[in-house]
Amino acid sequence: MGLSGHTKPFAVLGHPIGHSLSPVMHNASMASIGFDGIYLALDVHPDRLMDVLPAMADMGFGGVNLTVPHKEVAFHGLQKLDESAELFGAANTVAFTDDGLVGYNTDGYGFMTALQESFGTQVDGDRIFVLGCGGAGRATALLAAREGASSIVLADLDGDRMERLAGEIHVQAPSVCVEQVRGREAQVEACRGCDLVVQASPVGMKREDESLLPSAAFHADQRVFDLIYMYPETAILSVAREAGAAVANGLGMLLHQGARAFTIWTEEEPDVDVMRRSLEEAVYGSGE
């Protein structure tokens, strides 16, 4: 049973949950398509997550999204995992089904769909430069390797992290050439030789953050995708655009990973246009 008999509840779980955009887009979409549901943001300590999830299923929730570090906790705690979660080593979406709890990761779908939407192409045959090899960078690099990238260049201040990711790529996609670059000069040269640049570091989350790479790293035949979405254009996107590159931020990835989660839970298609408008208004304001 849901919250009011027929209303089906969903939620995003985090600790502290802070300001989440997931309720904004999901509730707007459910209202638009006439789906009797509600999407909540709930503060759950990661140590309690694996107790809370089955309790939510018993309460009638249809599914949940998870933030960091809950994604990793669910990945290790769930007995049933979709291939998408296995690839990423994290579950950002959990479906409560008749056969139990199933973990998914919709970030890869969101990333690829956003690339297609923004640039009219994805990663097949691309030389890809990944700036930042942590959680998001690791996930996008592994996915790109699996989806047909010809080569991947890794850049990160943490050399051990680069080494680990390079090893993972070699295991999952042995035919993909992987290079690790250290030092600004080498990064600029390597970036300039790539078709797609993915900015996956946290630099740019503050308005005053400067671009990690100069204009010499970019040119007109490139696409540059920054996973950060809280500003229409981060410093690195501005530098790349001025150098002639096509640019896009991470709002489309946020949108499409959420849309995919809703379909997994309900087998219904959300109103993606309404979701996009609600996100843009919440993040940038109606004047942007």
Tokens 């502290």: give the residue: 16
Query: Which residues are marked as active site?
Result: 71
Annotate 24-56 with b (16+ C-beta within 10 A) or e (fewer).
Answer: bbbbbbbebeebebbbbbbebebeebeebbeeb
Q: How many other CB atoms are found less than 10 A from the CB of residue 280?
A: 17
The β-bridge relationship of strands 63-66 and 93-97 is: antiparallel
- Find out whether 43 and 82 touch, Cβ atoms under 8 Å: no
Cα 158 from Cα 132, distance rounded (Å): 9
Of 254, 248, 202, nearest in space to 226 by CA: 248
